[in-house]
């Protein structure tokens, strides 16, 4: 959860074009646009060129790429990703 900024959750935010398929994580402590930006930067650094989407309202991150690397990137950024099974 972002402690440095006021929380004004957006209805949804997409960092990149939504992947048709991928691994989805529930990230309950990603609560605002700043949080989504931190997660975006972490994923872009860890998985360059990977497609991903972020939905702040649903606290979901969907990534096409290595599940373990994506999860570790989100954790390293300070958040608590949980794999969503369909």
Q: pLDDT tens-digit profile of 3-51?
A: 654 444 443 444 455 555 799 999 999 999 999 999 999 999 999 999 9
| Distance (Å) of CA 33 to CA 7, 10, 15, 38, 73 | 8, 7, 10, 9, 18
By the 8 A CB rule, do 2 and 35 touch?
yes
What pLDDT is stored for residue 37 in this prediction?
A: 97
Asked if pLDDT for residue 85 goes beyond 50, the answer is yes
Beta strands across the sheet bearing 23-26 = 52-55, 60-63, 23-26, 82-84
Q: pLDDT tens for residues 50-67?
A: 999 999 999 999 999 999
* Residue 1: Cβ within 10 Å count: 12
């Amino acid at each position: 959860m972002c402690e440095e900024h006021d929380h004004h959750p957006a209805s949804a935010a997409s960092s990149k074009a939504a992947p048709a398929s991928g691994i989805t994580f529930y990230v309950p402590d990603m609560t605002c646009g700043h949080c989504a930006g931190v997660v975006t930067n972490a994923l872009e650094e860890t998985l360059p060129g990977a497609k991903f989407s972020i939905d702040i309202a649903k606290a979901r991150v969907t990534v096409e790429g290595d599940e373990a690397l994506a999860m570790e990137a989100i954790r390293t950024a300070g958040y608590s990703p949980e794999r969503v099974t369909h």
